[in-house]
Amino acid sequence: MRLRLLGDSIAAGVGSTRREDTPGPLLAARLRAAGHEVDLKVHAVPGARSADLAAQVRAAIAGGVDLAVIVIGANDLTRFVPAHIGAQQLHDAVADLRRADAHVVVSTAPDLSVVAHVPPALRDVVSAVSRDYAQAQVQAVIRAGGVVAHVERAVSARFATDPSLFAADRFHPSGAGYRVIAEALAPAVEAALSA
């Protein structure tokens, strides 16, 4: 099972002090426990936006990919990328991976209103913008033949109330936060493999 992680700093595991507590190794361990032999490569790049997925997809396809997990959207939101543009770039990435016979699971943009740096007066607005962006991504992923992992639904409330899920920078997840994210990703990964 050639597992490839694509996307941004969350897919790369920025914020964790231990590599084994990042999404790639956590998902690989879960797949190994289910009996798969797993070859893991992380193509994700901190700071990446949806526009940067094309290069990551090319690298994943060139090296071979059976299952691609994409985590993208936070940097699009912080840089005010219009939802229809980011969603189209994500669609194209998923479609290219599907044409290469890869299963594709996508975790859409997080709810950035849970980040401590967001002023309380702006949290409702940031939450609404995050939700709208993620919804555009969901539609794009489904059109391209991918599987959506609704991670934000499963983890946002926990991140909003548990500071230990954030790294010292109060933006990226900690190792504990990544374990929560990987647990939320797992059902979609398993669904993609059984499809």
- Catalytic positions, written as ranges: 9, 169, 172
Chain centroid to Cα 71, Å, comes to 2
Distance between CA atoms of residues 188 and 33, nearest Å: 16
HSE (CB half, 13 Å, CA atoms) of 19?
Answer: 4
CB-based burial, 154-165: b 16+ in 10 Å, e otherwise: ebbeebbeeeeb
Element (H, E) at 76: helix 74-78
Contact call for residues 109 and 77 (beta carbons, < 8 A)? yes
Distance between CA atoms of residues 5 and 69, nearest Å: 5
Strand order in 67-71's β-sheet? 39-42, 2-7, 67-71, 103-107, 147-149
Residue 180 CB contacts under 8 Å (≥ 6 apart), including other chains: 155, 158, 159, 165, 173
Element (H, E) at 125: helix 123-144
